[in-house]
């Protein structure tokens, strides 16, 4: 089967299952899987560690341009999807701390922080054969992506998934806390002035509230095949 698809953009709110489906897709297609959320998380973690106030936009902008973020294939077999180095240090799990969850939406709302991250993401996108995941991939980073998917689910379903993930890693947290944090993050991501979370006009909107990971993957593979067939027929 000839494949005409080289770039796939997956956007949507936290906990919609973007990373699970993107990793499986990338594996199936032999593409690079790139989760742009880790870049914003790395800036947030660096800010927390250096004691930079989340209100200090100029300092956060300077930080975003100063730190060196690398995303590599997993270097440890501990369930991670990739390894993230922040100035050479393995911060893969540190990026998932609730403190980072609570501050990343603030950090990622600043235009200069986004500019620094988007420039790096576009360089990766240009190489093609990539499944890129985030909030603005279809609208800003890869507006010409061959397939754009906007993955969504109810906030309760997303909070439950995130809660289970955290409990599996023995993070002390209640479902109510996760739900409240998810609602707050949704609000910030959707209402921020600079490139708020929204589906691209030509995105396929997939609501997987009542689908498991396998069903979601099948559904999206089907969509991709339909786009491929349409390209071939054109």
The yes or no reply on residue 105 touching ligand DC (CB under 6 A) is yes
Q: Which residues contact 212 (CB under 8 A, 6 or more apart)?
A: none
| Minimum CB distance to ligand DC, residue 18 (Å) | 7
The yes or no reply on residue 185 touching ligand DC (CB under 6 A) is yes
| Minimum CB distance to ligand DC, residue 86 (Å) | 14
The yes or no reply on residue 22 touching ligand DC (CB under 6 A) is no
Which of residues 40, 110, 163, 204 is near ligand DC by CB under 6 A?
40
The yes or no reply on residue 161 touching ligand DC (CB under 6 A) is no
The yes or no reply on residue 106 touching ligand DC (CB under 6 A) is no
Which of residues 7, 103, 108, 216 is near ligand DC by CB under 6 A?
108
The yes or no reply on residue 136 touching ligand DC (CB under 6 A) is yes
| Minimum CB distance to ligand DC, residue 222 (Å) | 24
Specify the residue, 83 or 228, whose C-beta has the smaller distance to ligand DC.
83
The CA distance from 193 to 126, in Å, is 27
Q: Which residues contact 52 (CB under 8 A, 6 or more apart)?
A: 46, 59, 60, 63
Binding positions for ligand DC, rule: CB under 6 A = 14, 36-37, 40-41, 104-105, 108, 134-137, 185, 189
């Amino acid at each position: 089967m000839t494949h005409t698809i080289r770039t796939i953009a997956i956007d949507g709110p936290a906990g919609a299952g973007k990373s699970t489906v993107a990793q499986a897709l990338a594996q199936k297609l032999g593409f690079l899987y790139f989760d742009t959320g880790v870049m914003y998380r790395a800036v947030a973690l660096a800010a927390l560690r250096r004691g930079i106030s989340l209100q200090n936009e100029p300092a956060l902008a300077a930080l975003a341009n100063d730190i060196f973020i690398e995303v590599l294939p997993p270097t440890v077999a501990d369930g991670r999807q990739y390894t993230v180095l922040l100035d050479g240090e393995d911060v893969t799990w540190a990026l998932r701390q609730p403190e980072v969850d609570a501050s990343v939406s603030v950090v990622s709302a600043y235009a200069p922080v986004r500019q620094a991250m988007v420039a790096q993401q576009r360089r990766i996108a240009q190489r093609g054969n990539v499944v890129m995941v985030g909030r603005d991939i279809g609208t800003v980073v890869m507006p010409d992506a061959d397939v754009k998917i906007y993955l969504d689910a109810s906030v309760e379903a997303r909070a439950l998934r995130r809660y289970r993930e955290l409990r599996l890693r023995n993070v002390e947290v209640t479902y109510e806390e996760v739900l409240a944090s998810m609602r707050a993050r949704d609000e910030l991501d959707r209402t921020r002035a600079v490139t708020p979370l929204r589906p691209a006009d030509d995105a396929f909107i997939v609501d997987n509230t009542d689908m498991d990971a396998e069903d979601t993957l099948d559904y999206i593979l089907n969509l991709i095949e339909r786009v491929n067939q349409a390209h071939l027929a054109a």
